[in-house]
Amino acid sequence: MKKTDRWFDDMMRNVMMKLNLKLGGINHVVDAVQTRLKSHTVVLGADLVHPSGNLPGVPSIASIVGSVDNHAGKCLGSMRLQGIDTTDRELSKNQLY
């Protein structure tokens, strides 16, 4: 298989998995026995990215996701940008909305 063919296959697989989720399908299931997940358990994930020093004016990006089904396979998320001049008061105000 050529490298370009593999790239296309990977891209199509990714698109199909996204489409499957949008249509209510399940792509992956976490084994509750191995992970010791019980019903009504929320799995959370978060990430924070700061720009390097040589990129002035580029905001930091904060994101969080949480599972919304019993298989920890479907998640809802939120993302925020924080500019260099953003104050804590402005961030707190955003949390209310």
Domain ranges of the chain: 1-28, 31-95
Distance CA 75, CA 85 (A): 31
pLDDT in tens, 46-75: 999 988 878 878 888 999 999 888 777 788
Own/partner long-range contacts of 72-77 (Cβ < 8 Å, ≥24 apart): 72/30, 72/37, 72/41, 72/43, 73/26, 73/27, 73/28, 73/29, 73/30, 74/21, 74/26, 75/43, 75/45
Q: What is the pLDDT of residue 96?
A: 52
In the prediction, which pLDDT does 22 show?
Answer: 87
**pLDDT tens readout for residues 13-54:** 999 999 998 898 888 877 766 667 777 788 899 999 988 878
Range list of H helices, the chain: 3-22, 32-35, 88-95
